Amino acid sequence: MKKDLGKIPAVFPMPVLMIATYDEEGTVNVMNAAWGMISDYTQIALFLASEHKTTENIRKMKAFTVSIADRDHVTEADYFGMVSGNDVKDKFERSHLHAVKSNYCNAPVIEEFPVVIECELAEEIDVANMYAIVGNILNVQAEESVLNEKNKVDPQKLNALIFDQFQAGYYTVGEKVGQAWTSGKALTEEE
């Protein structure tokens, strides 16, 4: 029997995305964002509050990167979600991570995170019930250690963090249990 839980953000899993930007002085800022997703083959959408330092930086610099947080950096990833760049000016330096400038956009690439998506601002959506940043994906970088023999990211090697909105926990991606566009074929044969 199901029990009513009320109005809660009940989507699981959610990504743990590290959104990195520069401000006008070239200072690196990184925030933890769970409410983001691929919105097209060449675009990513981030549902951020408009008052975030990261949002302000994206508006000014027209660029950002999105990294997938991993198990090895859960402490830093959580820190980036706890502290605002509006309040702590040396937020990134306190993490002891390292950044280099993207070759594709005016945004930092955090060296320690294994996968990064380099983006330019495509659109800012600000309507009554939604605020979103949409970015054009210019490039994706991945550490060789998380690639399979076909140079595809292997989720089991990535150890990507996922966010649990039910209990505010972090988990890692588990075992592969099926193959997209293949596992359901048996049911199509019944038609």
Mean pLDDT per 10-residue interval, the chain, length 191 residues: 92 95 96 94 94 95 98 97 92 97 98 98 93 97 97 95 94 90 86 58
Alpha-carbon distances of 146 from 68, 89, 110, 141, rounded to whole Å: 12, 32, 16, 11
Q: What's the confidence (pLDDT) of residue 190?
A: 64
- Where do the structural domains in the chain lie, given as residue ranges? 14-188
Tell me the β-bridge partners of 15.
162
Q: What's the confidence (pLDDT) of residue 191?
A: 58
In the chain, what is the straight-line distance between the N-terminal and C-terminal CA atoms, in Å?
31
Given the candidates 3.30.2130.10, 3.40.50.1000, 2.30.110.10, 1.50.10.20, the CATH classification of the domain at 14-188 is 2.30.110.10
Give the separation between CA 11 and CA 115, rounded to whole angstroms: 23
